[in-house]
Amino acid sequence: MNGATVCISRCHVRPGFFMADILSLSKARKARARSEKEQQAAENRIRFGRTKAEKQREAALRALAEKRLDGDRRGD
């Protein structure tokens, strides 16, 4: 009987000691994946979310740079 009493006293949580919350690993994995997808979406909004005028301006600058490069080529 003494052994059972010792086991019970060891199994109880000490006063002032809090156990960690039990969490589902699948829920944690899904939450992490969700936050990674949101971060990727934010990066894509910055990278690809340009207005039509900004796209046209960039295309015009690219065409001008290509035209200058073609004009500077040597005709050897």
pLDDT tens profile 21-70: 777 999 999 999 999 999 999 999 888 888 899 989 999 999 999 988 88
State the pLDDT confidence band at 74, using cuts at 50, 70 and 90.
low
- Region of 6 (left: φ > 0; alpha: ψ -120 to 50; beta: rest) is alpha
The answer to whether the beta carbons of residues 13 and 7 sit under 8 Å apart is no
d(CA 49, CA 62): 19
State the pLDDT confidence band at 9, using cuts at 50, 70 and 90.
very low
What is the per-residue pLDDT for 15? Answer: 67
Does the model's pTM come out above 0.75? no
